[in-house]
């Protein structure tokens, strides 16, 4: 049985995927997991490989969804993205790390929300 939090997270990811598709993104993977962590959505937009973290919140209490993606979470996403690239060998010209927040039903897409530090892709 899914918990309420997990069900809300899944619904948020569904909405984020629908939004990205409408924006012309191709969804390559959802909930990609490796030993270093998990990435909610991996997509391609033109020649850019996009790794998106989705945060669903009822309101902005505790800083909202954006505040939940701190330096440690960014490092885990980056390491996991490198594993995805090594395993799948996708063709791309650029990489972006985006955050999609859904707060009280309102979707916000923060493109290039953080940069890769210390890694060569």
pLDDT per residue over 47-99, tens digit each? 999 999 999 877 666 666 567 788 899 999 999 999 999 999 999 999 999 99
Please give the pLDDT value at position 70.
85
pTM for the whole structure: 0.88
* Tens of pLDDT, residues 42-61: 999 999 999 999 998 776 66
**The residue to which tokens 């800083």 are assigned:** 63
Go through the domains of the chain in sequence order and give each one's CATH number. Answer: 4-114 (3.40.1350.10)
**Residue 31: how many CA atoms within 13 Å on its side-chain side?**
7
DSSP-derived pairing of the beta strands 94-103 and 48-57: parallel
Contact yes or no for 25/48 (Cβ under 8 A): no
């Amino acid at each position: 049985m899914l918990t309420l939090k997990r069900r809300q997270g899944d619904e948020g990811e569904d909405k984020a995927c629908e939004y990205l598709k409408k924006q012309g993104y191709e969804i390559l993977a959802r909930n990609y997991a490796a030993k270093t962590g998990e990435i909610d959505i991996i997509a391609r937009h033109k020649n850019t490989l996009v790794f998106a973290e989705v945060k669903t919140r009822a309101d902005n209490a505790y800083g909202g969804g954006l505040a939940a993606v701190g330096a440690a979470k960014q490092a885990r996403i980056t390491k996991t993205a490198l594993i995805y690239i090594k395993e799948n060998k996708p063709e791309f010209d650029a990489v972006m790390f985006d955050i999609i927040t859904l707060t009280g039903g309102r979707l916000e897409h923060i493109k290039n929300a953080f940069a890769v530090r210390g890694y060569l892709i």
